[in-house]
Structure 1
Amino acid sequence: MSYHTVDTSRRVIDLATGILVGLRGCSEREAFTELVAVVQRTGIGLGSIARALVAIAGSPGDSVPFESEAFDAWADLLATRTVTVAAR
Protein backbone atom coordinates (compact mmCIF):
# COMPACT_ATOMS: atom_id res chain seq x y z
CA MET A 1 0.00 0.00 0.00
CA SER A 2 1.40 3.36 -0.97
CA TYR A 3 1.66 6.42 1.26
CA HIS A 4 -0.89 8.20 -0.96
CA THR A 5 -3.43 5.39 -0.44
CA VAL A 6 -2.97 5.51 3.32
CA ASP A 7 -3.29 9.32 3.31
CA THR A 8 -6.46 9.17 1.20
CA SER A 9 -7.98 6.45 3.39
CA ARG A 10 -7.22 8.43 6.55
CA ARG A 11 -8.83 11.51 5.05
CA VAL A 12 -11.93 9.54 4.04
CA ILE A 13 -12.15 7.95 7.49
CA ASP A 14 -11.91 11.42 9.06
CA LEU A 15 -14.68 12.67 6.74
CA ALA A 16 -16.91 9.71 7.58
CA THR A 17 -16.27 10.23 11.29
CA GLY A 18 -17.17 13.90 10.88
CA ILE A 19 -20.40 12.99 9.10
CA LEU A 20 -21.40 10.74 11.98
CA VAL A 21 -20.45 13.40 14.54
CA GLY A 22 -22.62 15.91 12.69
CA LEU A 23 -25.60 13.63 12.20
CA ARG A 24 -25.53 11.87 15.57
CA GLY A 25 -24.21 14.74 17.67
CA CYS A 26 -21.71 12.35 19.22
CA SER A 27 -17.99 12.56 19.93
CA GLU A 28 -15.34 11.66 17.38
CA ARG A 29 -14.47 8.61 19.46
CA GLU A 30 -18.10 7.41 19.46
CA ALA A 31 -18.34 8.00 15.71
CA PHE A 32 -15.15 6.05 15.04
CA THR A 33 -16.38 3.23 17.29
CA GLU A 34 -19.58 3.13 15.24
CA LEU A 35 -17.57 2.86 12.01
CA VAL A 36 -15.55 -0.01 13.50
CA ALA A 37 -18.76 -1.76 14.60
CA VAL A 38 -20.06 -1.63 11.03
CA VAL A 39 -16.73 -3.01 9.79
CA GLN A 40 -17.00 -5.90 12.25
CA ARG A 41 -20.64 -6.57 11.34
CA THR A 42 -20.16 -6.42 7.56
CA GLY A 43 -16.57 -7.55 7.08
CA ILE A 44 -15.96 -4.55 4.81
CA GLY A 45 -12.68 -2.68 5.33
CA LEU A 46 -12.68 0.57 7.28
CA GLY A 47 -11.55 2.70 4.33
CA SER A 48 -14.15 1.14 2.03
CA ILE A 49 -17.12 1.57 4.36
CA ALA A 50 -15.99 5.11 5.21
CA ARG A 51 -15.76 5.97 1.49
CA ALA A 52 -19.25 4.55 0.94
CA LEU A 53 -20.69 6.62 3.81
CA VAL A 54 -19.06 9.78 2.46
CA ALA A 55 -20.46 9.02 -1.00
CA ILE A 56 -24.03 8.48 0.12
CA ALA A 57 -24.03 11.41 2.54
CA GLY A 58 -22.68 13.79 -0.11
CA SER A 59 -24.17 15.01 -3.32
CA PRO A 60 -25.20 12.49 -5.96
CA GLY A 61 -22.36 11.46 -8.20
CA ASP A 62 -20.24 8.49 -9.00
CA SER A 63 -21.13 5.23 -7.36
CA VAL A 64 -18.61 3.57 -5.07
CA PRO A 65 -18.47 -0.03 -3.83
CA PHE A 66 -20.44 -0.93 -0.70
CA GLU A 67 -22.92 1.96 -0.92
CA SER A 68 -25.84 -0.38 -0.25
CA GLU A 69 -24.15 -1.77 2.86
CA ALA A 70 -23.41 1.74 4.12
CA PHE A 71 -26.97 2.80 3.43
CA ASP A 72 -28.24 -0.24 5.35
CA ALA A 73 -26.01 0.69 8.30
CA TRP A 74 -26.97 4.37 8.38
CA ALA A 75 -30.40 4.57 6.73
CA ASP A 76 -31.92 6.00 9.92
CA LEU A 77 -29.44 8.89 9.95
CA LEU A 78 -29.72 9.59 6.26
CA ALA A 79 -33.52 9.58 6.37
CA THR A 80 -33.44 12.07 9.24
CA ARG A 81 -31.01 14.24 7.29
CA THR A 82 -33.26 14.18 4.21
CA VAL A 83 -36.31 15.17 6.25
CA THR A 84 -34.37 17.95 8.01
CA VAL A 85 -32.96 19.34 4.77
CA ALA A 86 -36.33 19.11 3.01
CA ALA A 87 -38.03 20.97 5.85
CA ARG A 88 -35.75 24.01 5.44
Structure 2
Amino acid sequence: MTRGLGTAVVDELRALFRRAAPRSRSAPPDTERFARHLEHDLDAVTAGISQPWNSGVVEGHVKRIKMLKRQMFSRAGFELLRKRVLLCS
Protein backbone atom coordinates (compact mmCIF):
# COMPACT_ATOMS: atom_id res chain seq x y z
CA MET A 1 0.00 0.00 0.00
CA THR A 2 1.22 3.48 -0.64
CA ARG A 3 1.64 5.89 2.20
CA GLY A 4 -1.23 8.12 1.00
CA LEU A 5 -3.65 5.22 0.83
CA GLY A 6 -2.57 4.06 4.30
CA THR A 7 -3.31 7.41 5.87
CA ALA A 8 -6.65 7.56 4.05
CA VAL A 9 -7.61 4.18 5.53
CA VAL A 10 -6.57 5.33 9.02
CA ASP A 11 -8.57 8.55 8.65
CA GLU A 12 -11.60 6.47 7.65
CA LEU A 13 -11.11 4.23 10.72
CA ARG A 14 -10.96 7.25 13.02
CA ALA A 15 -14.12 8.69 11.46
CA LEU A 16 -15.83 5.31 11.85
CA PHE A 17 -14.91 5.21 15.55
CA ARG A 18 -16.30 8.73 16.06
CA ARG A 19 -19.59 7.80 14.38
CA ALA A 20 -19.90 4.42 16.10
CA ALA A 21 -19.11 5.59 19.65
CA PRO A 22 -22.67 6.68 20.56
CA ARG A 23 -24.26 3.42 19.42
CA SER A 24 -21.55 0.96 20.47
CA ARG A 25 -23.84 -0.55 23.10
CA SER A 26 -26.20 -1.83 20.41
CA ALA A 27 -23.47 -3.81 18.59
CA PRO A 28 -23.03 -7.55 19.16
CA PRO A 29 -20.49 -8.26 21.92
CA ASP A 30 -17.90 -9.79 19.56
CA THR A 31 -18.06 -6.83 17.19
CA GLU A 32 -17.86 -4.38 20.06
CA ARG A 33 -14.82 -6.17 21.51
CA PHE A 34 -13.09 -6.23 18.10
CA ALA A 35 -13.72 -2.51 17.59
CA ARG A 36 -12.51 -1.69 21.10
CA HIS A 37 -9.24 -3.58 20.59
CA LEU A 38 -8.76 -2.11 17.13
CA GLU A 39 -9.24 1.38 18.53
CA HIS A 40 -6.87 0.61 21.40
CA ASP A 41 -4.17 -0.51 18.92
CA LEU A 42 -4.86 2.21 16.36
CA ASP A 43 -1.23 3.41 16.46
CA ALA A 44 0.01 -0.08 15.56
CA VAL A 45 -2.62 -0.39 12.81
CA THR A 46 -1.56 3.01 11.47
CA ALA A 47 2.10 1.99 11.43
CA GLY A 48 1.31 -1.33 9.76
CA ILE A 49 -0.67 0.32 6.99
CA SER A 50 1.44 3.41 6.36
CA GLN A 51 5.03 2.13 6.70
CA PRO A 52 6.83 0.92 3.57
CA TRP A 53 8.42 -2.13 5.23
CA ASN A 54 7.11 -5.35 6.77
CA SER A 55 8.37 -8.46 8.53
CA GLY A 56 7.58 -10.88 5.71
CA VAL A 57 11.18 -12.01 5.15
CA VAL A 58 11.73 -12.70 8.85
CA GLU A 59 8.44 -14.59 9.09
CA GLY A 60 9.50 -16.74 6.13
CA HIS A 61 12.74 -17.72 7.87
CA VAL A 62 10.90 -18.47 11.12
CA LYS A 63 8.42 -20.69 9.24
CA ARG A 64 11.25 -22.58 7.53
CA ILE A 65 13.11 -23.16 10.80
CA LYS A 66 9.92 -24.35 12.53
CA MET A 67 9.29 -26.77 9.67
CA LEU A 68 12.79 -28.20 10.01
CA LYS A 69 12.36 -28.49 13.76
CA ARG A 70 9.04 -30.34 13.35
CA GLN A 71 10.60 -32.74 10.84
CA MET A 72 13.38 -33.59 13.28
CA PHE A 73 11.30 -33.77 16.43
CA SER A 74 12.76 -36.39 18.83
CA ARG A 75 15.15 -37.70 16.16
CA ALA A 76 18.34 -35.84 16.86
CA GLY A 77 19.93 -33.18 18.99
CA PHE A 78 20.58 -29.50 18.56
CA GLU A 79 23.80 -29.98 16.56
CA LEU A 80 22.06 -31.81 13.70
CA LEU A 81 19.24 -29.25 13.69
CA ARG A 82 21.84 -26.46 13.53
CA LYS A 83 23.57 -28.13 10.57
CA ARG A 84 20.29 -28.55 8.68
CA VAL A 85 19.29 -24.93 9.29
CA LEU A 86 22.65 -23.70 8.08
CA LEU A 87 22.61 -25.99 5.02
CA CYS A 88 19.13 -24.86 3.99
CA SER A 89 19.97 -21.16 4.09
TM-score by length of 2: 0.28
Compare CA radii of gyration and give the structure with the larger one: 2
